[in-house]
Amino acid sequence: MTGVADRPARKVERMRTTKAKALWPAPLSAAIPAPRAPYQDRYPTLFRRGHQFEIALGQRLALGGFKGPTDVAFGPDGWLYVMNRYPNDGHLAGVRWVQVNVKDDGFEFEVVPKDPPGKPGATGHEWLGSLQMTVCDSQGVLYSADEHRHTVVRCSIRGETLGYWGHPGDKPGQLNGPTGMCLDADESLWIVNTLNHRVDHYTREGEWLGGFGQQGTGPGELNFPWGVAIDPINGTVVVADWRNDLVKRFSRDGKLLQVIGRPGHGEGELHRPAGVAEDNHGDIYVADRGNNRVLSFNYRGMFIESFIGDAVINDRGMQKVLTNLDMVRMRDNIENLDREKRLKAPVSVRVDNKGRVYIADTGRYRVQVYRKMCKALRPDEVDPPTLHVDPVLT
């Protein structure tokens, strides 16, 4: 005969078994089950507090500002290098990196890539006029791919153009509409070849190391992908699948491991995701360009938080406006400041090792910066799985 003391134990165990099924989000595709993979065992447990808006960098200025920021690279000298695509309006170079710091107390320097002959291109007809995303290695070399020239340019943070590499084409290893890029742990490059529907791996000198991808709408296929990030914990490859409105995680040899998000405009849904980044905790940030926001997910693929923009005009921008009396009067009678705060067509998102999130707010000519507020818990601060069930947030 079963004792009374045994009954609650069995009841609790049944409850644990039932609730544990909700630990993972519902499958986003009938073909992709919610994953339970060994690669997910090494992430820390976090006490989350959300993200706090810190500062907006840049404003639309004729000189020393942003006209079309598309990405942010972190230099070994402590500066940020913002890829800035200017309009070809007859008096400005087509593209340049703008050097700025997180305090936004001055645009100190600009790096303008030179054409292969070694001179800046004719204004409005630059050879490299379509640089898109950018990264910077530990030696202070900036890399960016031109999506129209199908070429990778290398520039030093001192302004020297160091060279170019890449061969246009649709074969593995060739460049065809390259956009997103990121550095691996060994500082090799992963580059998204958008028009080839592939992600390819290269040395910094341009030697092809491998890659994967084929066009389609199936679970393991890509359809005009854009952004790429390498998981700093396990080295898996995270890709923003732009036309399929999803984020996908692959092994380094191209095996699909996880599908994150679902197409749409609602909570945790994606429409034309562009840039993607992953922080040291395994949290994934997606520039949800078509929805004018950035979304964050944890390593399980659970939606955590959205960023819609909180920027106001900064002090340096205010000083510029105060020199124009017409603009001063307009600011006094401005309607709906909410619009000014919000993100517009963000292209890229990057994270640094200090918990900051940098969003290239392309449509508003600035970079919005947030700080992650959380505590990574020690193992002795968390009950072992046998004693608790993770809650499902509602």
Residues 81, 97: Cα–Cα separation, whole Å: 6
pLDDT at 314: 75
CATH superfamily of 26-381: TolB, C-terminal domain (2.120.10.30)
- 55 vs 228: which has the higher pLDDT: 228
Residue ranges per structural domain of the chain: 26-381
Residues 89, 72: Cα–Cα separation, whole Å: 23
Residues 392, 355: Cα–Cα separation, whole Å: 25
What are the structure tokens assigned to 18, written together? 């039932």
pLDDT at 100 over 90: no
- 89 vs 129: which has the higher pLDDT: 129
Residues 253, 309: Cα–Cα separation, whole Å: 36
Residues 11, 362: Cα–Cα separation, whole Å: 54
Q: What is the pLDDT of residues 211-226, one digit of tens each?
A: 999 999 999 999 999 9
DSSP-H helix ranges across the chain: 6-20, 315-321, 325-332, 338-341
Question: What rounded mean pLDDT belongs to the chain?
Answer: 83
Residue 26 gets which letter from DSSP?
A: P
Residue of 168, 160, 183 whose CA lies nearest to 74: 183
pLDDT at 1 over 50: no
pLDDT at 34 over 60: no
pLDDT at 327: 72
Q: What is the mean pLDDT of residues 272-280?
A: 97
Distance set, CA 83 to CA 74, 298, 358, 387 (Å): 11, 28, 13, 49
Going by pLDDT thresholds of 50, 70 and 90, the confidence category of residue 61 is: low
Going by pLDDT thresholds of 50, 70 and 90, the confidence category of residue 28 is: very low
Going by pLDDT thresholds of 50, 70 and 90, the confidence category of residue 188 is: very high
pTM of the prediction? 0.84
Alpha carbon 132 to chain centroid distance?
13
pLDDT at 14 over 50: no
Return the minimum-mean-pLDDT range out of 48-62, 130-144, 256-270, 341-355: 48-62
Location of structure tokens 């205010």:
318
